[in-house]
Amino acid sequence: MNHQRHTTGADSEHPNEGRVRSRWRAVGLAGAAGLALTTAAATGITVPGVDAVGRAVADDRLGKSKGAQVPCDTGRLIAEITRANAQGGAVLDLAAGCTYLLTADLDGAGLPAITTPITLNGGKNTTLKRSAAADEFRILTVEANGRLTLNHLTVTGGRISGDTDGGGILINPGGGATIKKSRIVENVSSEGDAGGIGNIGGALRIEHSVVSRNTAANIGGGIFSIGAISIDKSRFDANTALTGGALTVSGHLTVTRSELVGHQAAEGGAIFILGASTGTIGDTRIERNTTTGLGGSAIAGAPFQLTVSRVTVANNTATGGGQGAVFLLGGAVLVEDSVIKNNVGVDGGGVHNLGMLTLLHTKVTGNQATESGGGIFNGASGALTLLRTKVTENVAGVDGGGIFNEVGGTVDLSTATGTTVAKNRPDNCVNVPSCAG
């Protein structure tokens, strides 16, 4: 299917050393995630970078062979990729310090589509770039059975418009990509989704890389992924979109030892997770992100199940109607050994919960709500459990400085475990049993 659309470590403050059309279209795609996650098993095709249950895994074998040398010549690079596809794959060593300037549209991309295992090894300042004077196209497309590995490369200048996805790279169903020590920067999807990378039913792994200053008109400024995505020791910064400034995920997400900073979106300033998705976020910082619409300046969405461990969510801002740094529309989420601090929102400075949320050994401190729920706003459909958690020094403009529980919601402080709600202004709690106002 040729789909042409659509540092870190634990913070020392850890208690235990997230256009209207786009949003609803994305929710409708959530059911596709299950299909994407079982592609390998259902079709018998080996999908690169994904195991039998659809989790992204590393495939380091692709980068170890000595590669064929490709001089600083764009025509030669195109010819070598074409040859590699015809011969079942190759490792290509690109010239250090070279910008391979792409000027021709080859079926939606500047380079031939990847249909076999191909590794592109760069060096210092090796760049794949669309010429600003060229027609609009992305840099790379990965088709079914294609396995792309990028090492030490910059992918930049990709630009697509119309009903298409993936300004920099597009991974179609059955394909896969591993991005290592590379930079995906300043790519644009001017009317569609996935400014940097679109993973539409394949598998994607990002290691020791930077995804920065990419833009999508709709979903996923940095990345939009349907399928399996794994991110480790990488930095996402200053990507923008309507939904999910850094990334929007439908499927399975793993983020470890990474940073997501300085993004902007109407919903899910950093991360937006669609329904039926699962995942883990660990040893990561999510900071200085902004939402201007519904909310979730750091993390937003309704994941089926998500575990957040040893994560710092700090200095994020939800303006306008924005609700909380962490905005849960549903699903089951565990936040453990983490810090949620110095965030600003309307109802819920730190957290706005409409799902099933458990905070375990976590600090919620220094957050501000212009209305209610300085630390936490628990909505009428929310079920909130706090275990060995501290909610302190949060401020609300109206009431519920620490926790505001809307009528119909449930809050279990589990004070016997050592949970503390104290020193919040103008009060600690509203409508929360066992909590002094």
Q: Does residue 163 sit in helix, strand or coil?
A: coil
Residue 282 domain flag: no
Q: Is residue 8 part of a domain?
A: yes
Residues 90 and 12 in one domain: yes
pLDDT for res 3? 38
**Could you tell me if 259 and 301 lie in one domain?**
no
Structure confidence at residue 22 (pLDDT):
39
Q: Is residue 215 one of the residues assigned to a domain? A: yes
Q: Output phi, psi for 292, to 5 deg.
A: -120, 0
Collapsing DSSP states into helix, strand and coil, what is residue 350?
coil
Distance of CA 308 to the CA centre of its chain: 13
* Same domain? 255 vs 340: no
Would you state the pLDDT for residue 29? 40
The pairing of strands 188-189 and 215-216 is: parallel
Per-residue model confidence (pLDDT) at position 66: 75
> Does 75 lie in the same domain as 43?
yes
Burial of 12: CB neighbours in 10 Å, binned 0-12, 13-18, 19+ = exposed
Establish if 281 belongs to a structural domain: no
Buried-exposed string 414-423: b where 16+ CB fall within 10 A, e elsewhere: beeeebbbee
pLDDT of residue 321: 75
What are the structure tokens assigned to 403, written together? 């926790």
In which element (H, E) is residue 391 found? strand 390-392
In this structure, are 47 and 135 located in the same domain? yes
Burial of 64 (0-12, 13-18, 19+ CB in 10 A): exposed
> Domain check: are 298 and 417 in the same one?
yes
What integer pLDDT is reported at residue 162 of this predicted model?
A: 86
Is 206 found in the same domain as 73?
yes
User: Does some domain include residue 392?
Assistant: yes
Instruction: Indicate if 270 and 292 belong to the same structural domain.
Output: no
Give the pLDDT confidence score for residue 26 in this predicted structure: 39
Q: The whole model's pTM is what?
A: 0.86
Residue-level pLDDT at 268: 95
Pick the last residue of a domain from 255, 276, 297. 276
Q: Which domain holds residue 209?
A: 1-276
Three-class SS string for 272-335? Answer: EECCCCEEEEECCEEECCEEEEEECCCEEECCCEEEEECCEEECCEECCCCECCEEECCCEEEE
**Same domain (yes/no): 270, 391:** no
Longest dimension (CA), the chain: 72
Position 167 in a domain: yes
Tens of each residue's pLDDT in the chain, 437 residues: 333 333 333 333 444 333 333 333 333 343 333 333 333 333 233 333 433 333 333 344 334 447 899 999 999 999 999 999 999 999 999 999 999 999 999 999 999 999 999 999 999 999 999 999 999 999 999 999 999 999 999 999 999 998 889 999 999 999 999 999 999 999 999 999 999 999 999 999 999 999 999 999 999 999 999 999 999 999 999 999 999 999 999 999 999 999 999 999 999 999 999 988 999 999 999 999 999 988 899 999 999 999 999 999 999 999 877 789 999 999 999 999 999 999 999 999 999 999 999 999 999 999 999 999 999 999 999 999 999 999 999 999 999 999 999 999 999 998 888 999 999 999 999 999 888 76
Provide the domain count of the chain: 2
Let me know whether 231 and 358 are in one domain: no
Residue 283 resides in a domain: no
Q: Which two tokens stand for residue 275?
A: 């329904």
Distance of CA 317 to the CA centre of its chain: 18
Among residues 250, 276, 302, which one ends one of the domains? 276
Q: Do 193 and 294 lie in a common domain?
A: no
Domain-ending residue, one of 233, 251, 276: 276
The pLDDT of residue 85: 98
Are residues 264 and 322 part of one domain? no
